[in-house]
Copies of this chain bind each other. A is one copy, B any other.
Amino acid sequence: MTAEELETLDIAELLSTGDETTLRQFCVGTQPVIIADHVSNLPSEDLRFVLRHASPETRAEVFSHLHPETQLDLVDLLSRDEMISLFTHLPPDDRADLYKRLPDERTDAILPALAQAEREDIRRLTSYEEGTAGSVMTSDYASIPPNLTAEQSIEYLRTIAPDRETIYYAYVVDDQRRLMGFVSLKDIILAPRHRKISEIMHQDMISISVEEDQEKAARKIQKYDLLALPVIDQSEALVGIITHDDAIDVITQEQTEDMEKLMAIAGRHEAGVYMRTSAWGHFRNRSVWVAGLAVLGLASGFIVQNFEGFLLQFAIFAAFMPMLADTGGNTGSQSASLVIRALALNEITPRDAFRVILKEVHVGVYLGILLAALAFGRVMLMGAGSTIPEEYMLIQIAVAIAAALGFQVVSATLIGAMLPLVVARFNKDPAVIASPALTTIVDITGLLIYFYTAQFILKV
């Protein structure tokens, strides 16, 4: 269908009037990804009815573009035969993903009806741990014999194209399936007709190990502007490829995860599920850390209680506690999130710790001086209304509060930068240095700095 026809298309109306001719036309003459776009919000029953008008190949391709939850709802309605057809036609990576999400009784019913090679493929693709390169790769790559000429290669790719995720990159492997090189279809088209693949192929290749982190794979695709990245196992045999579209999804996914971790939100960190997650689900994801931190916050309560006598004497110090807490939390979170981001983009590694800390001390001192000056001004302006002991002058109080805030800012900036580096050093995700956790930590250090500095300067 043309773009204009699609714009005026109302699937719900077609369904209510029973206009199957237009439905068939829609399902045959439209790209699967655009069909998916138009039907994704239909009730599962209607979705199934519409897709019956498409060929098994198109149906499977539309299916693979639907949201995982929509997929599961639809699968619930399918008969065993429809499921077998779907499993036969789905791209291997989407098939493996669906397999993992289905209950055992469904998969047990389908598995025996699939070909041996397909069963084996499912078993292999589902065996890699979530989050690894292996878990996002597909096994439908194009490999090509090195002795073909450029002209023969085009013929060869034509015959295998219908089953491959991409034919724009073709991989050359030896008899142990070890990766020897790759050619792009552009290389083949530009080469003289009788030039052999072995002469055209690139041997300077970027690949990734099947056990590596999926984000590392995505960042390689980004860095080298690849259409697909070959994935190899321990014996250097080619086992699959990760394509550019999977790389974008992985990056979006990982960034949702980083942001949620940074806000101390637990859970599976799936992208695009805000509305689909129930209030209760949100509550569980958000409460774990927040409640934990509230308990950890006991410490700051104890500190304040410990200085109750001091506060009763100098009530003005209570008025500046919220600012102390906020400013420390803000500056610490800023430096933590910058360091976490730089680590995520591979701009720095834990080995750069010294240079990072040097830079942050530098920034912290500037920020500390600025904020101390602001605090000094505030105390001098606002303090006039406060009751302070007769033997003290307001300026002494102002100096004490400004100095304490300055120290707090420097220490919060440093702590914010150091914690992610330490976590990364132990090969954990630095994003767990959640901004709320950091805020609670620098609150505790901040209150200690605050009261001790004040007592020292005021000689209490």
Contacts and interface: CB of A to CB of B under 8 A. Distances in A.
A26 to B, nearest CB: 10
Contact of A322 (B29, B255, B286, B300): B300
A146 to B, nearest CB: 14
A345 to B, nearest CB: 5
A274 B185 CA distance: 38
Interface string A414-454: 00000000000000000000011001100100010000000
Interface stretch (A51-59, A69-77, A112-120, A380-388): A380-388
A135 interface: no
Interface in A288-332: 289-291, 293-295, 297-298, 300-302, 304-305, 308, 311-312, 315-316, 318-323, 325-327, 329-331
A319 B301 contact: yes
12 contacts: A158-B189, A168-B186, A222-B249, A244-B248, A259-B259, A259-B262, A279-B362, A300-B323, A304-B318, A308-B315, A326-B443, A435-B435
A24 to B, nearest CB: 15
Interface-centre pick from A189, A221, A271, A355 (highest chain B CB count, 10 A):
A189
A279 B359 CA distance: 6
B315 A301 contact: no
Contact of A367 (B2, B157, B286, B338): B286
Contacts of A93: none
Given A162-B190, A334-B436, 8 more contacts: A6-B204, A30-B204, A34-B204, A258-B259, A265-B338, A271-B341, A275-B348, A301-B319
Interface-centre pick from A204, A272, A362 (highest chain B CB count, 10 A):
A204
B161 A435 contact: no
Contact of A265 (B297, B326, B334): B334
A41 interface: no
A260 B320 CA distance: 27
Contacts of A49: none
Interface stretch (A15-23, A82-90, A103-111, A371-379): A371-379
A40 to B, nearest CB: 11
A189 B329 contact: no
Given A34-B224, A202-B31, A264 B334 contact: yes
A322 B447 contact: yes
For chain A, which range describes its interface: under 10, 10 to 19, 20 to 34, or 35 or more residues? Answer: 35 or more
Copies of this chain, tallied across the complex: 2
Contacts of A311: 311, 315, 318
A304 B326 CA distance: 15
A363 B168 contact: no
A109 B65 CA distance: 51
Contacts of A78: none
Interface in A263-294: 263-265, 271-275, 279-280, 282-283, 286-287, 289-291, 293-294
Given A275-B355, A386-B305, A323 B294 contact: yes
A12 interface: no
A260 B262 CA distance: 12
In the A-B complex, list the 5 residue pairs whose CB atoms are closest, starting with the nearest.
Answer: A279-B362, A274-B342, A2-B203, A283-B366, A225-B245
A304 B319 contact: yes
Contacts of A333: 263, 435-436
A304 to B, nearest CB: 4
Nearest to A181: B2
A66 interface: no
A301 B378 contact: yes
A44 interface: no
Interface in A125-183: 154, 157-158, 161-162, 167-168
Given A283-B366, A333-B263, A347 B315 contact: no
